[in-house]
């Protein structure tokens, strides 16, 4: 961070004033491109109550003196007392160290676009004399939980690790992909249940098909700013075509699902995990089904019904046909 700050001062993009180092925004004529806020509008709208050491109201802090009791580090050249970094500089420093002067994708919450990301860009581009900091900026919408903003202060934070105790990772993945990344996402148990049901169906229907090439409509949707809800709609379209006997649609469905990171298990592994998650022991189920068949043979229908109800209570649904009894775990 200190090296970056010293570079910016040497290049004339930053200055030292009253033990602060400030980035001089007018030194970068195309500042504001990311959030599409022209510099002159920003300057005109800047607050009246501006710190006296700023040359321009838009100038932002790269380094500042620590208040008593705050952590402090040796300051960049030109500042005598120990201090601490401003809000934006660490991101430019981390990106430089780990990704280089220019890199591919920068993510972040939509609320960080301005001023945080705009200022990161100003720092990095000015320090390295580059046209770009990141080639793509991917801003995600807010995450809501059952219709309410998810926030530490509200106490309704759900962690991925906790969710993985109850749901396969693919259910979480599909559930997230149902919302475009740029839109607000409402995370609900109901949504998770629907995603799990959808995956159950895809596993039963498509997981044994190898799949050569993803469907072109699915790829087109993804190429359109990662429009995952549209891609999923295309998957449902392929599913109904395949149901009607279209072999190419089935192939494309299987390949597309794998392409977006689903169907990573076999159908058997998927079923077994679902059974285990529901606490169902397949051997025990088979034993009860055999006992029920015995009871029916002996015309003890009360006992047969009791066994069926007991299994239903454990989430196991039976299906009788002329070939015998099959079962599955209900969601
Ligand atoms: Zn950042």
Segment 127-183, tens digit of pLDDT: 999 999 999 999 999 888 988 887 788 888 888 899 988 899 999 999 999 999 999
3-state secondary structure of 18: coil
Task: Using the mean position of ligand 1's atoms as its centre, give its distance from the Cα of residue 225 in Å.
Answer: 22
Of 177 and 43, the structure prediction assigns the larger pLDDT to 177
* pLDDT tens digit sequence for 212-262: 999 999 999 999 999 999 999 999 999 999 999 999 999 999 999 999 999
Q: Higher confidence at residue 44 or residue 18?
A: 18
Q: What is the pLDDT of residue 47?
A: 64
User: Are 316 and 328 in contact, with CB atoms under 8 Å apart?
Assistant: yes
**Distance between Cα 121 and ligand 1 center (Å):** 10
CB contact set of 261 (below 8 Å; sequence gap of 6+): 170, 173
| Predicted confidence band of residue 278 (pLDDT cuts 50, 70, 90) | confident
Of residues 157 and 292, more confidence is placed in: 292
CA of 107 to the centre of ligand 1 (A): 9
Q: Which residue has the higher pLDDT, 51 or 5?
A: 5
Residue 1 alpha carbon to ligand 1 centre in Å: 13
Q: What is the structure's pLDDT at 150?
A: 79
Question: What is the 120 CA–ligand 1 centroid distance (Å)?
Answer: 7
CA separation for the pair 90, 250 (Å, rounded) = 48
Percent of all residues in the chain with a pLDDT value above 70, rounded to a whole number: 98
* CA separation for the pair 186, 192 (Å, rounded): 11
Q: How far apart are CA 294 and CA 288, in angstroms?
A: 10
Q: How far is the CA of 118 from the centre of ligand 1 (A)?
A: 10
Q: Please tell me the distance between residue 95's alpha carbon and the centre of ligand 1 in angstroms.
A: 9
For position 331, what pLDDT does the model report? 64
Assess whether pLDDT exceeds 70 at residue 48: no
The pLDDT assigned to 329 comes to 81
Running DSSP on this structure, what letter comes out for residue 76? Answer: P
**What integer best gives the mean pLDDT of the chain?**
92
Residue 308 CA, ligand 1 centroid: distance in Å: 57
Q: Is residue 53 exposed (0-12), middle (13-18) or buried (19+ Cβ within 10 Å)?
A: middle
| pTM exceeds 0.85, yes or no | no
Tokens for 178?
A: 């149902």
- Cβ–Cβ < 8 Å for 228, 178: yes
Please tell me the predicted confidence (pLDDT) of residue 231. Answer: 98
Measured from the Cβ of residue 52, the count of other Cβ atoms closer than 10 Å reads: 6
Q: Which contiguous run of DSSP H or E holds residue 241?
A: helix 228-243
Is residue 15's pLDDT more than 70? yes
CA of 280 to the centre of ligand 1 (A): 46
**Rounded Cα–Cα distance for residues 284 and 329 (Å):** 13
What are the distances in angstroms from CA 261 to CA 158, 169, 172, 234, 256? 22, 10, 11, 16, 9
Longest Cα–Cα distance of the chain, Å, equals 96
């Amino acid at each position: 961070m200190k090296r970056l700050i010293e570079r910016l001062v040497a290049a004339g993009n930053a200055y030292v004033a009253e033990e602060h180092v400030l980035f001089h925004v007018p030194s970068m004529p195309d500042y504001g491109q990311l959030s599409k806020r022209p510099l002159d509008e920003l300057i005109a709208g800047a607050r009246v109550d501006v710190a006296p050491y700023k040359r321009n109201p838009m100038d932002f802090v790269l380094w500042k003196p620590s208040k008593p009791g705050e952590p402090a580090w040796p300051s960049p050249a030109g500042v005598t007392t120990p201090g601490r970094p401003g809000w934006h500089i660490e991101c430019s420093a981390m990106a430089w160290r780990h990704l280089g002067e220019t890199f591919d994708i920068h993510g972040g919450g939509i609320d960080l676009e301005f001023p945080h990301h705009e200022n990161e860009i100003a720092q990095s581009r000015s320090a390295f004399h580059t046209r770009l900091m990141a080639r793509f900026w991917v801003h995600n919408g807010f995450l809501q939980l059952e219709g309410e903003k998810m926030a530490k202060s509200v106490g309704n934070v759900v962690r991925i690790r906790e969710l993985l105790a109850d749901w396969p990772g693919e259910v979480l993945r599909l559930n997230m992909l149902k919302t475009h990344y740029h839109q607000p996402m409402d995370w609900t148990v109901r949504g998770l249940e629907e995603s799990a049901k959808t995956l159950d169906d895809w596993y039963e229907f498509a997981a044994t098909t190898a799949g050569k090439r993803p469907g072109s409509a699915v790829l087109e949707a993804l190429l359109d700013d990662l429009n995952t809800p549209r891609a999923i709609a295309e998957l449902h379209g392929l599913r109904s075509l395949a149901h009607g006997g279209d072999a190419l649609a089935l192939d494309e469905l299987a390949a597309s699902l794998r392409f977006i990171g689903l169907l990573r298990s076999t159908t058997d592994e998927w079923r077994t995990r679902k059974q285990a998650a529901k606490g169902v022991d397949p051997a025990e189920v088979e034993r009860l089904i055999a006992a029920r068949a015995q009871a029916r043979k002996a015309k003890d229908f009360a006992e047969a019904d009791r066994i069926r109800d007991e299994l239903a209570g454990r989430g196991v649904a039976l299906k009788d046909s002329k070939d015998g009894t099959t079962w599955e775990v209900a969601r």
